[in-house]
Amino acid sequence: MKNLLKVLITLSFIGSSLIASNSIKAMKIPGNVSDIGPTSKAWLSTSYQDVIVYPQTTIKLNDLDANAMNADNSAKKLRVKAITDGKNISFLIKWKDESKSIQEGYSTTSYGDGFAVQFPTSYKDSKKLPYIGMGSVGRSVVVHLQKATGFTYEPNGNNDVYHQVNENNQNAFHEDIQKYRIKVKETAISDYQRVFISEGFRSMTQIKDGSESSKMQMVYKNGYWKGSLSLPLKSSYLNLNKGAFPIAFAIWDGDKKNRDGLKLLSSWIGVKVVGKSGGEKLIDLLNEKSKGDVNNGEKLALENCAACHRYKNVNMAPDFMAPNLSNIGGYSTKEYLMESIVEPSAVVVAGYNRNAHKNFTWYDVDEKGIRTSTMPSYEWLDEKSRNDLVVYLQSLKAEVK
Ligand code: HEC
Query: pLDDT tens-digit profile of 145-193?
Result: 998 876 554 555 555 554 455 555 555 556 666 666 666 555 544 457 8
Residue nearest to atom 12 of ligand 1 (CA): 362
Instruction: State the closest ligand 1 atom to the C-alpha of 58, by its place in the atom list counted from 1.
Output: 26
Sign of CA dihedral 109, 115, 121, 125: positive
The response to whether residue 173 sits with its C-beta less than 6 Å from ligand 1 reads no
Tell me if 362 sits within 8 A of 351, measured CB to CB.
yes
CA distance 237 to 53: 25
Tell me if 197 sits within 8 A of 237, measured CB to CB.
yes
Q: Tell me the pLDDT band of 229, cut-offs 50, 70 and 90.
A: very high
- Per-residue pLDDT, 98: 87
CATH number of 288-395: 2.60.40.420
DSSP letter, residue 130: P
Select 21-149+191-286's CATH number: 3.40.50.720, 2.60.40.1190, 3.40.50.150, 1.10.10.10.
2.60.40.1190
Give the global pTM.
0.86
Pocket of ligand 1, candidates 132, 136, 268, 308: which has the most ligand atoms within 8 Å of its Cβ, to mutate?
308
- Fold match between domain 21-149+191-286 and domain 288-395: yes
147-157 tens-digit pLDDT: 887 655 455 55
CA distance 272 to 235: 19
Domain extents for the chain?
21-149+191-286, 288-395
Residue 24: beta bridge partners? Answer: 271
